[in-house]
Amino acid sequence: MGVPICPKCSSNFHRGAEDQCPRCGFSLKQAEHIFGIHDTPFQRVTDEAGALTHKERSALAQILEKIERRISPVALSVYFTDHGQQEHFRSHALWIINHLRLHHASFGKREQARALDDAPILIREQADQPHGAPSPAGLAGRTKDAFDEWRERWHDFLHPLPPPVRREWMLILVIDVQLETACFVWGYMLDPYIDPDRINSSILKARIPIRERDVVQAIKIMMTEAAREIASSGHTVIRHAGKHGLLPRGQRATLSALTAAALLTPCLFAPQTWAVPTSAPSPPIAEEVEEPSAAGDDATPAWLPADSQLLMQGKWWSSYPPILFEPEPGAPRARQATLPQSSLLPDPAQLPENDKIVPAAYLSLYAQNDPSKRSNLIDPQMLLAEVEKNDLETLLNAIPKKCNFRIYVSLFVRGQKYDPRIDAQRLIAQVCRPHERSVLIQYHLGDSESVQIAYDPNFHDELPEGDRNRILQEVKEEVSRYSNGPDALYAGITSLAARLHPEVAQLQKLERRRHKEAQASTDIEVPAVDIQIAREQTEKKESWKAKLAEIAQNPAMLTMLYAVLGVLALFGAFILLWRRWKRHIHLLDSHPDIRLGAPYGAGVSRTVRYMDGKEPAADIRDVV
């Protein structure tokens, strides 16, 4: 459970700010002044920006319904907008969760009863159809309907249906397609289970699918990771329910009744009635009050007659000793802990101030020969962000599994000169692995003409010079289409892998053909000898029917078989119940922390630019 965040100024404030933010004064009334006080229709997948088709919205609604069954009673939703105003993005998200009007039919079976109540009553005239006419679908259609109904009931048994939707339990992913920005907003009941600074990691994990414009898969990853985060924290919160202000479901009503009885019993059987005192209590006498000491936690000193005179003269505060006592002169002071610097990185004081040449301290890190520290991405100057580095390493690690060759990448600053010892051809000879085709892309970020491709010595001899030059020009053209350095590098790696894959496949075919020819020339033809061994009648293999008949006639074997089948049945029932109960979590209610004047929820995460995985510069982290 993290500290709440203000939707407008992004500052962290402590709980209890019921009316407004203590720093900027933001409240729900300001959002209502911008967006209105009316309620807006809200479906499970609300697409006001037109980013999805009808088929994609239906598929996404089914995915969200399947995910939310694991974290009952949470309701998952997605809201697409093209508002395009960064300063009002999270204010709009806060306004949505407090002013939405649920479209019950879009939330599936959990809102089936409410959807029927809200549906209009239509009178349908009965067609002229003879009594007992067969269904147009026939026997096959009825069988399919029965099978679908049985499968749906089985799914409802394994994955229990959550209760009806409550706005306090809603988790909404708000996406602005114009700003390429996303954030989460949730109700008050989810405050103990969500950390505003950790929930955005689920958005960052869907960066690659959303770059490929696969919106449904990206949102599936986001919501799955968010549900996993809620379930992970939910186990800890429920285990310590009293610490977080929660009570188990079966004990809440009983404990409330016992508490009320304990409070009312003294009032009912009290011998005297309560009366308001007619006069104020007399102050303590100064002689009866002990003087406070520095060693213990004594009470506040009594008010003396001289204190009134000191107060009028402005000397009362300085007349008393300070509350914090000074340490003794000989007492040792705590030393500030220092973190050890990594031995792999050079001292920043020894590095030059400009980026015109690669520092000598980085030369050994470019040609790293230790297999445990070797990576496909050679970036000792740390020119990429952490998210960009993880994406490139994921792509580079996936290429050898599909293409039977490995791609290395060495990065430099644009226009930066380097020592000839770490040029592309020498670097690939040092980092390549034996018996494996390897390629290295050398790239100065932002300069498409600086792209160089080097092959390991064996691979270099197998590819003709014309093919190498053609591949280099095509990769440069692909890189020049992007202005952003990491995006251009990502496109260049993908283009190089796509162009080298057929070449490597052709080389492997030639190797297999040569291997077969060499093996055929060295094989010695041995005449086949057919030796028939006469088997006796007693050595014939018995059939499985005979074995079953033998087991059925043996009571001991039959008892053992029943015991094994019983153990397997119990094990299967245990697995079924484990999937039924242990895989799901039912979150408990909590006391809502009403803040910012919002009646249903005020939990908002920080905004994330989902295309590059960064927070806007204005999204500061101040604590009030």
Percent of the chain whose predicted confidence (pLDDT) is above 70: 69
For the CA atoms of 316, 317, 318, 321, what is the dihedral angle to 10 degrees?
110
Mean pLDDT of 319-346: 52
> Does residue 244 or residue 544 have the better pLDDT?
544
d(CA 200, CA 183): 7
The token duo for 88 is 């009002």
d(CA 194, CA 191): 6
Question: Which pLDDT belongs to residue 186?
Answer: 94
Q: Are the CB atoms for 434 and 401 separated by under 8 Å?
A: no
- Radius of gyration over every alpha carbon of the chain, rounded to an integer in angstroms: 37
d(CA 495, CA 477): 10
Mean pLDDT of 613-618: 59
pLDDT higher than threshold 90 for residue 56: yes
Question: Which pLDDT belongs to residue 260?
Answer: 56
Q: What residues form DSSP beta bridges with 408?
A: 440
SS3 annotation, 263-328: HHHHHHCCCCCCCCCCCCCCCCCHHHCCCCCCCCCCCCCCCCHHHHHHHHHCCCCCCCCCCCCCCC
**Rounded to 5 degrees, what angle do the CA atoms 67, 69, 72 make?**
120
pLDDT higher than threshold 60 for residue 255: no
Residue 394's pLDDT band (cuts 50, 70, 90): confident
Q: Which of these, 154, 165, 1, 167, lies nearest to 68 by C-alpha position?
A: 165
Q: Which of these, 605, 604, 613, 602, lies nearest to 203 by C-alpha position?
A: 613
Task: Give one DSSP letter per residue of 134-166, joined into a string.
Answer: PPTTHHHHHHHHHHHHHHHHHHHHHSPPPPPP-
Q: Mean pLDDT of all residues in the chain?
A: 75
d(CA 396, CA 401): 10
Q: Which amino acid is at 536?
A: E
- Whole-angstrom CA distances from 511 to 100, 399, 503 are 66, 21, 13
From the number of C-beta atoms within 10 Å of its C-beta (0-12, 13-18, 19+), residue 206 rates as buried
> Does residue 261 or residue 105 have the better pLDDT?
105
How many helices and strands (H and E) does the chain possess? 18, 14
List, for residues 157-200, the tens digit of each pLDDT value. 666 677 888 999 999 999 999 999 999 999 999 988 998 888 88
Q: Which of these, 73, 44, 47, lies nearest to 61 by C-alpha position?
A: 44
pLDDT higher than threshold 80 for residue 342: no
pLDDT higher than threshold 70 for residue 406: yes
Question: Which pLDDT belongs to residue 137?
Answer: 52
Q: At what angle do helices 465-479 and 485-522 cross, to 10 degrees?
A: 160
List, for residues 579-605, the tens digit of each pLDDT value. 655 567 788 888 888 888 888 988 899
Mean pLDDT of 29-34: 92
Helix %, strand %, coil % of the chain (to 5) = 45, 10, 45
- E strands within 536-586? 585-586
The neighbour count for residue 479, using CB atoms within 10 Å, is: 26
Residue 226's pLDDT band (cuts 50, 70, 90): very high
Phi-psi bin for 195: left (phi > 0), alpha (psi -120 to 50), beta? beta
In order of their start, the domains of the chain are 28-117+152-241+589-609 (3.10.310.50), 355-510 (3.10.310.50)
pLDDT higher than threshold 90 for residue 138: no
Q: Which of 223-232, 397-406, 454-463, 506-515 has the highest mean pLDDT?
A: 223-232
The token duo for 423 is 């040029």
The single residue listed with the structure tokens 């009293």 is 242
d(CA 449, CA 427): 19
Residue 488's pLDDT band (cuts 50, 70, 90): confident
The neighbour count for residue 510, using CB atoms within 10 Å, is: 10
